[in-house]
Amino acid sequence: MPGGPWRPRSGPPGRRPGTASVARSATRSPENEPSCRCACAGVASSPRLGCDPPRASGVAARSVPPNGSSGPAPVCSPQQAGVLPVRRGFSTGLRRVPASRIGSSCGQTGQRQPGQRRTARHRTARRRTGRSTGRWGPRMGMTGVVVRAVSGAAAVGLAASTAAGVVVARKAVHPRPKRTVTVLDVGPAGVTVPADEQTRCPGVYRVYFGAAEHSVLLGDVRTDDGDRVCRAVLDDPGTLPTPGDELLWTGYLLDEPAAVSPDSTELVITADGSDRPAWLFPVPGATTWAIHVHGIHSSRTAVLRGVPDTLAAGMSSLVIGYRGDAEDDRGLPATFGAEEWHDLDAAMRYAVDHGAERLVLVGWSMGATVAMHAASDSALRDRIDAMVLVCPALDWFTALRWGAVKAGFPGFLGVLGAGALTVPGLSRLAGVRTPIPLGRLRPRPPVGVPLLVIHSVGDRDVPIDASRRFVAAAGPTATLVEVAPCPHGSEMNRDPDLFHGSVRRFLGRVAGRSVPVS
């Protein structure tokens, strides 16, 4: 040990004679010579710091008279002869015995021998280097370095993945610009646009242009050369798009309430201190009301196309908006129905207060999630007679995973994003003030309520697999109608006969089993 001679530390009071600690200096003197020294190990006799006979040296312990005297030397006990006792973390309060004095008289080299117990030197080296000096020390030390490096890299990777998942979640809950297609040509045959999955899909679609001030209905494909698609113009619009215009492609066949019924009225429904607009299509004397709920970042116009079926079934129909939709100028994030269902609950209360005895909920996409939460938590859930779910979002972990893939991200980031929305702190980073309860992301089917689920097998936004699992879990009260491949929410456009026929037969069965509430 550098820095001056070795000196014993003062032991505790009452130390017995002959148990002084070993001290060594550059110049030995009688004053600092130990009172008892074991010649085989060079350590002081002490009740705490004793010796143990070496197991493999074959050298018997012998005593050396202190201070070179010729008298009989104190004999060390067997426990005091040899190496230091093995006890991990052992400390005597004395200065450590120099390594050069351990085993100096017994032919020991200070190196740990096979079968020999661990000594103070080895323990000291372990404390200083953080690893063993034994046979396997260097290898175990390298393993520890590798483990720490891998653990650190994993932690960094997890943090980066979580941050990316939060970004994906933020994109999902906040409104974003709608996808548009560019008009390539307009002629007597129709409107020519780039060919893709949406523009090639059979059916009738409404496209908006000129800052959504104008719209036209486009019919089936007339020509398709692989790069360009020409679709017929069905109505006689006052304004046609021109080459270079951006078209917003939708499935909105009916774009205003008057196109559904001249008897429609607009009203306001209040929920949680906020007024939300709604359209009412009354049927005189109807005791069953249908409430239509649109999807995420959309508007009431999106579900007007479903109202004729409920009117034909003799049901007054209410088309509602909810917080955070395209008509809400507050810019609130979507919460996948966790908060939006309160607006549907207020609409259900309005219907009951105005003569409704039974209720039918019609939900599209996220509107189906909103309807599921109302069927689970509303005080009026016993009034729900049936539910019609179109392209329903019933598993948001799956929906965000496919959304991430569609946006060019790895799918697992969507799953992390959905999970982040349920965690305090991470949900706020994603823009949601209150974490979404985990159960809200995968709602369960209501018990005993008839369900009609209509979904396309080619939906790339909300895959049909989630609907299949949902219907299987619901049991015999649920019916799944699978539509040919088409983009999300285009089931009615792709196969209108199958869509309308399935809905009207289902509502007819529901009307036959409905029992008025007394």
Which of 250, 277, 294 represents a domain boundary (last residue)?
250
Quickly list DSSP for 374-442.
HHHH-TTGGGEEEEEEES----HHHHHHHHHHHTTS-HHHHHHHHHHTTSTTHHHHTT-SSPPPGGGGS
Using the CB atoms, write b or e for 259-298: b if 16+ within 10 Å: ebbeebeeeebebeeeebebbbbbbeebebbbbbbbbbbb
Angle value at C-alpha 371, between 354 and 398, nearest 5 degrees: 170
Both tokens of 419, joined, read 């999970």
- Considering the domain boundaries, does residue 38 fall inside one? yes
222/287 same-domain check: no
- Considering the domain boundaries, does residue 358 fall inside one? yes
In this prediction, residue 13 carries a pLDDT of 52
490/350 same-domain check: yes
Give me the phi and psi of 110, to 5 degrees please: 90, -10
CATH code, 492: 3.40.50.1820
Closest CA to 337 of 399, 407, 253, 288: 399
Residue 193: beta bridge partners?
229
Angstrom distance (rounded) from CA 368 to CA 306: 14
Which of 228, 250, 272 represents a domain boundary (last residue)?
250
368/494 same-domain check: yes
Angstrom distance (rounded) from CA 126 to CA 138: 12
217/149 same-domain check: no
14/111 same-domain check: yes
360/462 same-domain check: yes
Longest CA–CA separation in the chain, Å: 130
In this prediction, residue 347 carries a pLDDT of 98
In this prediction, residue 165 carries a pLDDT of 81
Both tokens of 185, joined, read 């040509």
In this prediction, residue 293 carries a pLDDT of 98
User: Which is it for strands 384-390 and 358-364: parallel, antiparallel or unpaired?
Assistant: parallel
- Considering the domain boundaries, does residue 518 fall inside one? no
Low pLDDT (below 70) residues in the chain: 1-141, 154, 157-158, 512-518
In this prediction, residue 24 carries a pLDDT of 43
Which of 414, 441, 468 represents a domain boundary (last residue)?
441
Structural domain including 453 reads 257-394+444-512
Quickly list DSSP for 298-364.
--GGGGGGGHHHHHHTT-EEEEE--TTSTT-TT-PPP-TTTTTHHHHHHHHHHHHHTT-SEEEEEEE
356/230 same-domain check: no
361/489 same-domain check: yes
- Considering the domain boundaries, does residue 435 fall inside one? yes
In this prediction, residue 333 carries a pLDDT of 93
Using the CB atoms, write b or e for 220-240: b if 16+ within 10 Å: ebeeeeeeebbbebeeeeeee
105/199 same-domain check: no
Write the CB contacts of 96 (distance below 8 Å, at least 6 apart in sequence): 1, 120, 124
Angstrom distance (rounded) from CA 159 to CA 252: 42
210/348 same-domain check: no
Q: pTM for the whole thing? A: 0.71
Write the CB contacts of 449 (distance below 8 Å, at least 6 apart in sequence): 375, 384, 385, 386, 387, 477
User: Which is it for strands 228-233 and 288-293: parallel, antiparallel or unpaired?
Assistant: unpaired
CA distances from 481 to 82, 476, 499 (A): 87, 14, 8
Angstrom distance (rounded) from CA 484 to CA 349: 37
In this prediction, residue 203 carries a pLDDT of 96
Give tens-digit pLDDT for 33-85.
444 444 444 444 444 444 444 444 444 444 445 454 455 555 555 444 444 44
CA distances from 398 to 78, 297, 332 (A): 73, 19, 23
- Considering the domain boundaries, does residue 420 fall inside one? yes
416/452 same-domain check: no
- Considering the domain boundaries, does residue 517 fall inside one? no
Both tokens of 23, joined, read 């001290």
Angstrom distance (rounded) from CA 71 to CA 75: 12
Q: How many domains does the chain have?
A: 4
- Considering the domain boundaries, does residue 461 fall inside one? yes
235/188 same-domain check: yes
Give tens-digit pLDDT for 344-401.
999 999 999 999 999 999 999 999 999 999 999 999 999 999 999 999 999 999 999 9
